[in-house]
Structure 1
Amino acid sequence: MKLNVVISVLLILLTVSCKSVEAKKETNKPNIIFIMADDLGYGDLGCYGQTKIKTPNLDKMAAEGMRFTDHYAGSTVCMPSRASLLTGYDQGHASVRGNPVWTQSGKPVNLKPSELTVANELKQAGYNTAIIGKWGLSEGNTESNMPSEHGFDYFLGYKKHGHAHHYYWDTLYQNNEIYLLEGNDFKTKQGKYTHDVFVNEALNYIQKEKNQPFFLYLALTIPHLEITVPEESKEPYLNLGWPKRKMNTKGHYKNDAEGNTSFAGMVSRMDRDLGVLFDKLKEYGIDENTIVFFTSDNGPEYEKKDRFFNSNGDLRGGKRDLYEGGIRIPFIARYPGKIKAGSVSEHPSAFWDFLPTACDLAGVEPTHKDINGISLLPELMGNKENQQKHEFLYWEFNERQGPIQAIRQKDWKLVWKLEGEPELYNLSSDIAESNNLALQEPEKLKEMLEILKQVRTEHSEFPLETRALALRKRKNAK
């Protein structure tokens, strides 16, 4: 009997021990925070060369983590870019390949109801999931395709990207229900600045979920037009002798009268608030078990032409271009004790790499094996020799001047406008894409054009025909 009792006790202890190890393993899954600015340019942060706007907290994040020099957005405008981030597909294979009105039918294309996102994958891996800020993937009159249908346990923010054009908008959504900001009036810019609402909600969420693995997608709207910010954020930039940029205050965007101080104040306000978020991770004791990513959804719009802040850096173009200024973006990752402090990566990567990277961090395999993304975890952890590389990266842009297609293969870049001549650049010697080598490098051009034939699946709403032709067909069909 005594032997049986001893065996029973040992079995109980072994079971408890196994459960304890299993629970510890579950707990040790890193929290994942992905922070996205809106229309922030490659050169808008100090760590990427900005000299006028102060961004000490994001500069510190880069000093404590890894700064990527060759990271790309999913697209050059917000809706398809965000779709690529969430689903792991590039613009040759994504369901969402353009902003709402630029489809063949004129009806917006949203994520498919069954379409898996990184939130679905992490939820299956035991994570609590949230998006706070700009969703922008439920356009038109539909009530469906809310974040809850794509793996997010919690949502507070803008449903449509048009609503996110206003920082004093009164109607947000909390999960699937309308969330009114009483007293907000976007026309007079009265009430709560929505950026502040999102930051406070993110801080509350982190405090609430700090004892279990969580994924937070913090989709901020700074510094997208409209250019406006509370007065205290402008103060550091007043009386510096800057040129005054007069803004349109009566149109769709309710801009402040002077743009430069407001733009700088917006970026610095975001940086200030992210500093608070970083401090809270330390205060809650979860800093070392949290990986934070920071990026932008595409290139700059406010400074696409005016170069006072040099938001594009040395890059050509901005938002709505497939030149580097439209798609190459800041990308920083920080994971204390795991990512080497002050490291810099020149590895070419893109938004569709985030889903497999997040899965790798969570210890699971992506459900779909045909995604275009490749996990960046080896690169992040300093194992560069084990980092798989893309054969090429592909984008397309479907608006009035499109379709435009672009491929990057190693240092070579092809930009192809449907009704124009091919443009071929070598980024290693011509980061500004100022010297078209199409005539000098016919063999390379031929190779890139052959790749272009293989890069996309057909999409009835985004055919390879000019948007102007699509608009004429739609008009004639009425």
Structure 2
Amino acid sequence: MLRILLPLACLLVAPILGAQRLNVISIVTDDQAAWSVGCYGNRESITPNMDRLAKEGARFENAFTVTPVCSPSRVTFMTGKYGAQLGVTDWIAPNEAKAGVGLTRDVVTWPKVLQQAGYTTALIGKWHLGDKSDAHPKAQGFDHFYGFLGGGTSPMNPTYDFPDGPKEVKGYGADLLTDEAIRWLGENKAKTFALSLHFREPHTAYTPVPEEDSKLFANLDPTVPTFKGADVEQIKTWTREYYAAIHSVDRNLGRLFAWLEKEGLWDKTIIQFTSDHGYNIGHHGIHTKGNGMWVAGGVTGPKRPNMWDTSLRIPLIVRWPGVTKSGMVISQQVLNLDNFSSLLGMTGVTPPAGWKVEGENFAPLLRGDSVTWRSDWFGQYDLHNSGLAYMRMIRTDEWKYVRHFHANLMDELYNVKDDPEETKNLLGGAGRKDKAQKIEKIVGDLDAKMETWMKRVNDPVLNESRKRGWFEPGEVHD
């Protein structure tokens, strides 16, 4: 089989010899918040198979994406770099994909590294990282691809991209992708495999889904956020449909897990479950994610670009046979930026020396090792589809500071320790003047760290920015 060689000789990876390597299945849902999963405390969503992974493996209670929309988040997940470092700062619109926006052939992805180490690889489901030949999954480390290259398709009778062009496939998307995953695994079960299974659910449109999923929530009166002007019934309807779409994924995970057990592969396979970013259904008065829209009075309003935790926090669960202890809960702040190093760390494949990543290897946390971990981290999002925003963020255990470049009086500061729901922006509203000096010191320290980071990653926004002045000395802006 012809494999795509990584650029530069220094990126060559020697196959692992000796002990039997574990297989890898990386499961990624689309638009699924951590708050939607049972093992994260939801008592209304029904997710027994996601919960099973947490019961038998490790659940990260503070996992985040560094960009709260699809394409840049997926760039980070695949490469260990920020989307802006590779030219992907917002979801890739169809006209951008035609123009060549996406991954390039010289990019190193973890599937490329595993492929060169001897793994048989497949991507089944959503890509959304470009559709030119250099960006195609088969140029980015996957031997097999079945799914769709763009941002979305219908939940029923979806259109998938085949070598001879796009075609409609009859059935429900989650069922179809799982059918293909099991078929491909059956063909390759004697090999060491790495499967990326990327569901489109629970992305809008949430429905239709099979009745066996939707009927479970037909009579549910879900607990939802309320706010002034909220159309509570609309939010409840969205929530019921969202849970049904999630259950469609969970039910299919049950099918996949049963097949792995039947074939004797359950304890020979690392399984990772996560999502590309968080989600809001009425949270903070918006619908969807980092490019969400205000919703009030039954009317969907303008975009509210944001980096709230509800948009950034993701589920992350790992079952690593023989390593993770059942029911582990890991409290450290981990990022999708860590995925590249961590999957290589779990498989024992040496990271390529010529590819500098920004993340850390969280495999030692899964082993239960005592390790020094990050005390702060950075996020970025440049909205340019149907709006305009340039946001950079630093988050610590106590503070979150969001800087809006090329905009005045929009910066945000939250004490996420005392105000985890991020309800009070300490840089706006009726601030007390006697607190302004303390706030100025906090912002100054966070701002200095942010600019140091932006210089290190050669952030293009920093080079174009003007001096920020969010308040005059001794005043908090109104």
Say whether the fold is shared (TM-score over 0.5).
Answer: yes
Q: Match of 2:130?
A: 138
2:317 corresponds, among 332, 335, 338, to 332
What does 1:98-247 align with in structure 2 at a 5 Å threshold?
98-101=90-93, 109-139=101-131, 142-161=132-151, 164-168=152-156, 170-174=158-162, 176-178=163-165, 180-181=167-168, 191-228=170-207, 229-240=209-220
Query: Take 2:250 and 2:205, find their aligned partners in 1: how far apart are those partners?
Result: 18
Query: Take 2:419 and 2:284, find their aligned partners in 1: how far apart are those partners?
Result: 20
Counterpart amino acid of residue 75 in structure 1 = T
What does 1:45-84 align with in structure 2 at a 5 Å threshold?
45-84=37-76
Does the 8 Å CA contact 1:134/1:219 hold for their aligned counterparts? yes
What does 1:426-441 align with in structure 2 at a 5 Å threshold?
426-437=415-426, 439=436, 440-441=438-439
Does the 8 Å CA contact 1:137/1:145 hold for their aligned counterparts? yes
Q: Which runs of 5+ in 2 are unaligned?
A: 1-13, 225-233, 296-302, 428-435, 467-478
Query: Take 1:213 and 1:65, find their aligned partners in 2: how far apart are those partners?
Result: 21
Does the 8 Å CA contact 1:119/1:151 hold for their aligned counterparts? yes
Residues 464 and 45 (structure 1), Cα distance of their counterparts in 2 relative to 1, 3 Å cut:
farther
Residues 365 and 25 (structure 1), Cα distance of their counterparts in 2 relative to 1, 3 Å cut:
closer
* Corresponding position: 1:389 with 2:374: yes
What does 1:262-411 align with in structure 2 at a 5 Å threshold?
262-304=241-283, 320-367=305-352, 368-383=354-369, 385-386=370-371, 388-389=373-374, 392-399=377-384, 400-411=387-398
Does the 8 Å CA contact 2:94/2:150 hold for their aligned counterparts? no
TM-score (normalizing by structure 1): 0.78
Residues 52 and 112 (structure 1), Cα distance of their counterparts in 2 relative to 1, 3 Å cut:
same
Cα offsets for 1:224-266 (capped at 9, x unmatched): 001211223212222345699xxxxxxxxxx9x9644432221
Query: Take 1:37 and 1:236, find their aligned partners in 2: how far apart are those partners?
Result: 20
Cα offsets for 1:126-146 (capped at 9, x unmatched): 11111110011115xx45411
SS in structure 2 at match of 1:454:
helix
CA RMSD in angstroms comes to: 3.6
Does the 8 Å CA contact 2:286/2:304 hold for their aligned counterparts? no
Q: Match of 2:440?
A: 442
Cα offsets for 1:70-91 (capped at 9, x unmatched): 1112411101110000010124
Does the 8 Å CA contact 1:374/1:390 hold for their aligned counterparts? no
Does the 8 Å CA contact 2:174/2:248 hold for their aligned counterparts? no
Counterpart amino acid of residue 59 in structure 1 = D
Query: Take 2:148 and 2:96, find their aligned partners in 1: how far apart are those partners?
Result: 26
Bigger mean CA offset, 195-204 vs 409-418: 409-418
Query: Take 2:95 and 2:289, find their aligned partners in 1: how far apart are those partners?
Result: 30
Cα displacement (A) at 1:53: 1.6
Does the 8 Å CA contact 1:171/1:178 hold for their aligned counterparts? no
Does the 8 Å CA contact 1:77/1:297 hold for their aligned counterparts? yes
SS in structure 1 at match of 2:139:
helix
Does the 8 Å CA contact 1:395/1:407 hold for their aligned counterparts? no
Cα displacement (A) at 1:278: 1.6
SS in structure 1 at match of 2:21:
coil
Query: Take 2:94 and 2:161, find their aligned partners in 1: how far apart are those partners?
Result: 25
Q: Which runs of 5+ in 1 are unaligned?
A: 1-21, 185-190, 245-254, 467-478
Cα offsets for 1:165-208 (capped at 9, x unmatched): 4223553124x443633xx5xxxxxx311221101111122222
Counterpart amino acid of residue 383 in structure 2 = N
Counterpart amino acid of residue 351 in structure 1 = N
Does the 8 Å CA contact 1:77/1:319 hold for their aligned counterparts? no
Q: Match of 1:424?
A: 413
Cα displacement (A) at 1:464: 5.4
TM-score (normalizing by structure 2): 0.78
Query: Take 2:97 and 2:56, find their aligned partners in 1: how far apart are those partners?
Result: 48
Cα displacement (A) at 1:362: 2.6
Q: Match of 1:412?
A: 399
Bigger mean CA offset, 440-449 vs 55-64: 440-449
Residues 91 and 431 (structure 1), Cα distance of their counterparts in 2 relative to 1, 3 Å cut:
farther
Does the 8 Å CA contact 2:33/2:310 hold for their aligned counterparts? yes
Residues 241 and 437 (structure 1), Cα distance of their counterparts in 2 relative to 1, 3 Å cut:
closer
Does the 8 Å CA contact 2:112/2:141 hold for their aligned counterparts? yes
Q: Higher strand share goes to which structure?
A: 2
